[in-house]
A and B are shown apart, each in its own frame.
Chain A
Amino acid sequence: MHRFLVKLSSSSNQFRSFKNHRLLLPLLPSSKPFTSSPSVSSSPPRHSNRSWYPYSVELFRKISPLSSNSRTLGVNGRGISSEAGRESIEYDVLIVGAGPAGLSAAMRLKQLSQEKNVDLSVCVVEKGAEVGGHIISGNVFEPVALDELLPHWRQEHTPIKIPASSDKFWFLTKDRAISLPSPFDNKGNYVISLSQLVRWLGGKAEELGTEIYPGFSASEVLYDASDKVVGIATKDMGISKDGSKKENFQPGVDIKGRVTLFAEGCRGSLSERIIKKYKLREEVNAQHQTYALGIKEVWEIDESKHNPGEVVHTLGWPLDRKTYGGSFLYHMNDRQVALGLVVALNYHNPFLNPYEEFQKLKHHPAIKRILEGGTVLQYGARTLNEGGFQSIPYPVFPGGAIIGCSAGFLNVPKIKGTHTAMKSGMLAAEAAFGVLHEGINMNTYWDNLKDSWVWKELYAARNYRPAFEYGLLPGLAVSAMEHYILKGKVPFTLKHGKADHEATNLARKCTPIEYPKPDGVLSFDVPTSLYRSNTNHDHDQPSHLRLRDPKIPEKVNFPEYAAPESRYCPARVYEYVEDEEGKPKLQINAQNCLHCKACDIKDPKQNIEWTVPEGGGGPAYSLV
């Protein structure tokens, strides 16, 4: 097989030492002062002058003779070198995350390789134990990107079977459901389980020759001497809670790519570090990202109540007028319905408990009558992007790019992000192929994004969500105007309010919320729900949830904000227990974690850093 065996001009040793010292190296002169663009501009927006960017030069690497390090030729002549017990494997393209964006990028790369008769090695690493195991979404799927990626998918046996048959929209009050004209038009879309679709995409990607390695979490970004990203390091496995090596200790592996694409999903842990390091938001004067937390269950209901393809969205109860969010109820196949509540994380009241709000929702008469007699099959939760157009960072950095929800291409009024994530993956793949094969610049990804339907769509949708900063009714009014008349063709772009973690008010200024006890039939306690997510982590490992300052929970979170993390976490990871002196102490039950990233987003002092646990841990989603 013809290989692009790129031997980097320095030995792997240097990567080791530079990885540790990278923080001392000055940033590339690439991070120049931002091109200022006013928030009210008359032309489509944010772009930056990147033509001078020296990125393309990096790619013409000198092929030098093999280093003195022990270097064996692994499978297919791939270079596997090892020094100091750490192995290093090289690929042409490394993709972090086997979700819709990552797998679409992998498939596009392989398609291009076949077309142009070129051999590119593509590796996808995934922290879930299985491809699709960490994937959860509504999901009413718009197949526009899939039609471009796999034009003949309809002739194949896919998990895309149920076309959306109706679009209902209800405004809920405590007892009633008022039908409103639906702002959604899902004709041509399908009600699916995204976990199932991603599993199928994984199979297709492997058929095309992608190497996918589930069960490996990328814990560090690797940089070279010029502060360029050269790959990732997987997390060491077999370290016990106290930090010592267990008998089955397995050091992580350095996986290098000539191009690295980060597709970790919303608030990806490495993507966030990359965005901060290379100041990618400042690059294009993007706003901060805003988020929502989605909590979902899949129910198997009575045959008589099941109506495949029915799509219901609600607004209003149980959330109040100041809290943005709503619920969804989608009828899938096999008597299954997907039911969930999405709560924007810029809520003000620290006593709000999104999980409990979801339990309340299920008791609403309109929802209850559908669920009665049914059983819950699966539970899960995940944060999603709500920043839309205003929050898209510059997604290219030296060594690669960010794709999918890690950058943030979700269309908020449509509440769909799968199709744009897939398209971003495909565009990045095309750019990466050009970088590797034709020596073009990776900026092409950004340029192509701006020329694509992703950009048009997100630009048109940009003012819906920020309008809700003024309240529910103004928000609805603007939405109606945008939907029927304006369609985004206004000369201004509304800005987001405060960042989610800054929006929480002090506890003493807010009223505590009393939540009813679960009845065990429609509503459940967290441990019961958690059991249904199949989540687990090896207990004997250091907690993957890091506190930047271990004293802040007891000094700030508990007294001033009434411990919001004990309320917004849908897995009860954070609990305050009394220590020997009777004082409250934070206990982190990392084993419960659903990898939703809500804590990383909502912690008032941004003290909680979500990092990856050992690979293979976390939820095992299959129906959500």
Chain B
Amino acid sequence: MKILVAVKRVVDYAVKIRVKPDKTGVDTQNVKMSMNPFCEIALEEALRIKEAGFAKEVVAVSIGPSQCVDTLRTGLAMGADRGIHVETNTSFLPLTIAKILKSLAEVENPGLIFLGKQAIDDDCNQTGQMVAALLGWPQATFASKVVLDKDKHIATVDREVDGGLETLCVDLPAVITTDLRLNQPRYASLPNIMKAKSKPIKKMTVQDLKVDVKSDIEILEVTEPPKRKSGVMVSSVDELIEKLRNEAHVV
């Protein structure tokens, strides 16, 4: 079985970002970028499944500008067998990404597609679900535990939902998106980083995959959230009630 893992190159989680002065987006120039933490978890799970003998190959795929190759190399250094880079300079929204992944899945025929539950730059939490719907495959999102049954071709997945944990059984091929507590991703060791240099990364374009990338969403403006105003200290209950009534108008 082949596992396809989608990884996204995002602003590193520890970096302080700021909005561009023209309000078209976040300033990503001269900013440290890394693999999305949830994508790392997805890749780690795929590698563990391969190491357990349930899969033969783990393919990492990334969609974006030329620097995505660095993200793919990290994935290869962690243990993926080969990479696919769909090169584009446009920043695509989840539906377009899902369409691209659908086309890739039709070419590669994986038994499982792993994604992070969401990317930390847009927090959309949509791509995995959309890929499953486009392909007509079952989906298990927010996975905190994945157990495969090779003979029955099913995966038993514990999902983290608002009410607690939900266990689902999905037929393969399926789409699984990973949540934080699924595993702790491995470090890429130096010898593996060296070996990863010779693993293949295939370059493709959206035209190769015959995907319509016209977006039906246009970002109008990006602004910083309003600054929190500092609180006011009150000296008595009466003053509190007075402020709630006359200033905040909530009483």
Contact = CB atoms under 8 A, between A and B. Distances in A.
A437 B60 CA distance: 42
Interface string A513-540: 0000000000000000001101110000
B196 to A, nearest CB: 9
B52 interface: no
A299 interface: no
Contacts of A74: 191, 194-195
Given A532-B16, A534-B15, A535-B14, A133 B190 contact: no
A67 B236 CA distance: 82
A129 B15 CA distance: 12
B16 A75 contact: no
Interface string B169-208: 0000000000000011111011101110110000000000
B87 interface: no
A213 B14 contact: no
Contact of A248 (B32, B187, B198): B187
A75 B189 contact: no
A211 B195 CA distance: 13
Nearest to B13: A536
Contacts of A623: 30
Given A247-B184, A250-B186, A534-B32, A620 B191 contact: no
Nearest to A255: B190
Contact of A620 (B15, B18, B198): B15
B77 to A, nearest CB: 10
Nearest to A537: B14
Given A75-B198, A246-B184, A196 B190 contact: no
Contacts of B193: 213
B241 interface: no
Interface string A238-262: 1000000011101001010000000
Interface string A215-248: 0100000000000000000100110000000111
Nearest to A236: B187
A449 interface: no
A250 B195 CA distance: 16
Contacts of B185: 248
Indicate the size class of the contact surface on chain A: 20 to 34
Interface string A564-592: 00000000000000000000000000000
B31 interface: yes
A357 interface: no
Contacts of B194: 74-75, 78, 80, 89, 211
Contacts of A196: 30
A620 B32 CA distance: 7
Nearest to A216: B190
Interface residues of B, number: 22
A253 B32 contact: no
B14 A248 contact: no
Given A377-B18, A620-B32, A622-B30, A89 B12 contact: no
A130 interface: yes
B198 A534 contact: no
Contacts of A554: none
A87 B30 CA distance: 34
Interface in B47-72: none
Contacts of B190: 87, 89, 213, 216, 234, 253, 255
Interface in A91-121: none
A250 B189 contact: yes
A87 to B, nearest CB: 5
A442 B81 CA distance: 43
Contacts of A75: 194-195, 197-198
A54 B121 CA distance: 58
Interface centre among B16, B18, B31, B186 (most CB of A within 10 A): B16
Contact of B187 (A250, A532, A622): A250
Contacts of B198: 75
B35 to A, nearest CB: 12
Interface centre among B189, B190, B197 (most CB of A within 10 A): B190
Contacts of B32: 129-130, 133, 534, 620, 622
B30 A531 contact: no
Interface of B: 12, 14-16, 18, 30-32, 34, 183-187, 189-191, 193-195, 197-198
Given A87-B191, A253-B189, 8 more contacts: A74-B191, A75-B194, A75-B195, A129-B32, A129-B34, A247-B184, A620-B12, A623-B30
12 contacts: A75-B194, A75-B197, A80-B194, A196-B30, A234-B190, A247-B183, A250-B186, A253-B189, A255-B190, A534-B15, A536-B14, A620-B32
Interface of A: 74-75, 78, 80, 87, 89, 129-130, 133, 196, 211, 213, 216, 234, 237-238, 246-248, 250, 253, 255, 375, 377, 531-532, 534-536, 620, 622-623
Nearest 9 CB-CB pairings of A with B: A536-B14, A622-B30, A250-B187, A620-B32, A237-B187, A534-B15, A253-B190, A248-B186, A75-B194
